[in-house]
Amino acid sequence: MSNRFEPRTADDLRALVQEQPLAWIVSGEPGAQHATPLPVQLVCDADGTPRTLLGHFARRNPQVAALAANSRATVLLIGPHGYISPSWVSDRTWGPTWNYASAMFDVDLQFCDTRADADRLLSGLVKQMETNRPAAWQPQEMGARYEKLVTGIIGFEAKILAVRSCFKLGQDERDEVFADILRALDIKDQASLTKWMRRFGESRPAQALAPSQPPPRALDPEIKRFIDNVIAKGRELTAGRDLSWPERREICELTRAPWTKGGPVIADTRNIVAETKAGPVRLRIYDPSPGHSKPTFVFMHGGGWSLFSVNTHDRVMREFAHRGGMAVVGVDYDLSPEVRYPTALNQVIAVVHWLHEQGRAHGLDGERIALGGDSAGGNLSMGAALRLRDAGHPNLVKAVLSIYGGSTPDCSPASRQRYGTEQDMLTANEVDTFWDNYIGHLGDRRDPYVATAYAPLQGLPPVFLVIAECDILAEQNLHMAGRLLEAGVQVQAKVYPGAPHSFIEAVAVSRVANEAVDDGVAFLRSVLLRERGARVHVA
């Protein structure tokens, strides 16, 4: 096989086994062969050299006795693969092919027949398969059933004697053909094969990769100053360390701290704990004019339901309170993955009820409440408005201000490629991680109160969508604007040129961020103060 189809590095083979671990274990002489499909784990040396395959058989499998007599076997693994049709490419003289990744291991297999071996091999396989999954499962959750399972298996360690692998992923195609294939695979939603083709396409010239259509727009220079500073400071503080989620939150607080300084001083700012139907919820209240009746804007910070706090968004909330002449209540909801959906949403809804019933005692108008927030906060705002509507309380919330909020875990291939790269403020991988953190069960990924793109939207209060042009979530927000209009909801939507995800946090230095705050304030006042304003506007 040509060298162009070999793995580029040892990580390619390791990743192939981790992502596609089901392999055929083949042993015996021709005419008397045994073959069993089993998931395997690959163990490599520090330099990445494959050394051992781990796995387990069912004890009653007749191949166990055959391997005990003759320990030589071949392990055959096929990874992502797919037929590539000539109809996808502009050159009709090009012939069909099949792209795939595969590996074949010659091994000497030895059984490991102790309880400790069985526990070790099973836990290792579960860890390999469950890592990064929402609500990752652990073997001890089986309880008594685990004992029956573990006694019915026998583990093995297979010393690798030779490896032959093939990564035929379009390396031999012309640039324009390679680009055509990637576009077609995206359309056909063959994400695994597309991912591996792009992985190997990294070594091709830049023009070989399918370009974004249209190309990404350059970031607004004032916002870029904020983005570059936050990213650089974060990398400096992490220095490549593998951080826990509490440690990541500490880093976020440190990187955002300089950007929360300055700005308006609010007459009365206080932290309280509201005793709600969802339990105690931490709130920060900004009251620009104590003793005077004013609307209440309930703000949920972003951070993928996993990061940030009322501290990271202190400057943003002060700006809304000062410019709008309204009370702002920041909700410091519980974060994922320690808690999962619907805990944070329940807390937001409970805060709305608490404000309606007890807000007056804290100088807050519980009759004129708006919900809003950025990113995950925008999602929580829409979800809470939907839940309140369906629970028979459609009038408790008068308006929703969603600032580049997420509405579905599913980002299109085009949006991921255009504004979800590792150089962007919010990457496609981060979107996946945040949703996996927040969603505890796969079935909840289509729950309309969290994946609001799938919800019926009729009967919602007026909505303003702040859309960052250079954001992986821009596509979702534009789609949501259309659905709201279709549902007869009073909606405004505005796209901010050159703005990436998180741009509202750059309010200290960015004219675009200040424009978005002013627009949000104007919307909230027009609804909450019943000032005359445009009924429907999409810009």
pLDDT in tens, 393-417: 999 999 999 999 999 998 887 788 7
Q: 10 Å Cβ neighbour count for 133?
A: 10
Distance CA 366, CA 7 (A): 62
Q: Which amino acid is at 539?
A: A
Question: 102 is written with which tokens?
Answer: 């595969």
Model pLDDT, residue 184:
86
pLDDT of residue 250: 96
Can you read off the two tokens belonging to residue 451? 């994946």
Q: Is there a catalytic annotation at residue 393? A: no
Single out the catalytic residue among 301, 424, 471, 502: 471
Q: Is 458 a residue whose pLDDT tops 90?
A: yes
Which of these, 442, 468, 495, 428, lies nearest to 186 by C-alpha position? 428
Region class of 239: left (phi > 0), else alpha (psi between -120 and 50), else beta: left
Which residue, chain included where needed, has tokens 């490599």?
Answer: 44
pLDDT, position 443: 83
List the catalytic residue out of 301, 501, 502, 510.
Answer: 501
Instruction: Compute the average pLDDT of residues 448-475.
Output: 97
Return the pLDDT at 259.
Answer: 96
Does 382 score more than 70 pLDDT?
yes
- Collapsing DSSP to helix, strand or coil, 18 comes out as helix
Question: Across the strands, what pairs with 104?
Answer: 76, 164
Nearest alpha-carbon partner for 461 in 388, 380, 373, 537: 388
Distance separating alpha carbons of residues 375 and 388, to the nearest angstrom = 20
Q: Is 471 an active-site residue?
A: yes
pLDDT of amino acid 252: 96
- What does the pLDDT read at residue 475? 95
CA neighbor of 454 nearest in space, from 464, 465, 446, 462: 446
Q: Is the pLDDT of residue 356 over 80?
A: yes
Decide: 425 and 437 in contact? Cβ < 8 Å.
no
* pLDDT above 80 (res 217): yes
Asked if the model's pLDDT at residue 533 lies above 50, the reply is: no
Phi/psi at 341 (5° precision): -55, 135
510 is catalytic: no
Average pLDDT, integer, range 218-229? 96
In this prediction, residues 375-390 reach a mean pLDDT of: 98
The vertex-295 CA angle with 292 and 300, nearest 5°, equals 130
Copy the structure tokens of residue 355. 């404000």
* Res 534 pLDDT > 70: no
* Dihedral angle sign, alpha carbons of residues 332, 336, 340, 341: positive
Distance between CA 469 and CA 391 in Å, rounded?
A: 34
Res. 537: pLDDT tops 50: no
498, pLDDT greater than 90: yes
Look over the chain and give the mean of its residue pLDDT values, rounded to a whole number: 92
CA dihedral 344, 346, 352, 353 (to 10 degrees): -150
Omega within 30 of 0 (cis) for the link into 30? no
Q: Say which of 375, 381, 407, 415 is annotated catalytic.
A: 375
Q: CA-to-CA distance for 321 and 509, rounded, in angstroms? A: 19
> Residues 332, 309: contact at Cβ < 8 Å?
yes
Task: Quick: pLDDT tens for 432-456.
Answer: 999 999 998 888 989 999 999 999 9
Enter the tokens of residue 352: 């709305």
Kindly tell me if the per-residue pLDDT of 516 is higher than 70.
yes
Alpha helices, H only, 307-423: 314-324, 343-358, 376-390, 413-419
Element (H, E) at 502: none
Percentage of residues in the chain with pLDDT exceeding 90?
78
pLDDT of residue 411: 86
Q: Which of 362, 403, 369, 396 is nearest to 492 (CA)?
A: 403
- In single-letter form, the type of residue at position 387 comes to R
Alpha helices in 26-109 (DSSP H): 62-69
Residue 531 has pLDDT above 50, yes or no: no
Tens-place pLDDT, residues 10-40: 899 999 999 999 999 999 998 899 999 999 9
- 471 vs 183, residue with greater confidence: 471
* Percent of the residues in the chain that have a pLDDT greater than 70, as a whole number: 96
Is residue 472 within 8 Å of residue 500, measured between CB atoms?
no
| Per-residue confidence band for 213, with pLDDT thresholds at 50, 70 and 90 | low
Pairing mode, strands 369-374 and 327-332: unpaired
User: For the residues 200-209, what does the mean pLDDT come to?
Assistant: 69
pTM: 0.76
Q: How confident is the model at residue 538 (pLDDT cuts 50, 70, 90)?
A: very low
Pair 484, 457: CB distance under 8 Å:
yes
Which of 167, 11, 16, 164 lies closest to 98, judged by CA? Answer: 167
State residue 439's pLDDT score: 93
- Cα–Cα distance for residue pair 131/139, rounded to 1 Å: 13
CA dihedral (341, 344, 349, 353) positive or negative:
positive
Task: Tell me the C-alpha distance between 349 and 396, whole Å.
Answer: 10
Torsion 282-516-484-525 (CA) sign: positive
Answer whether residue 168 shows pLDDT above 50.
yes
DSSP states along 447-469:
-TTTSGGGS--TTPPPEEEEEEE
**Which residues 6+ apart lie within 8 Å of 527 measured at CB?**
370, 398, 399, 461, 462, 533
SS3 call for 522: helix
Report pLDDT for 515: 98
* C-alpha to C-alpha distances, 474 to 17, 336, 346, nearest whole angstrom: 35, 24, 26
Q: What angle do CA 227, 375, 482 make, to 5 degrees?
A: 115
Q: Which two tokens stand for residue 133?
A: 């999954």
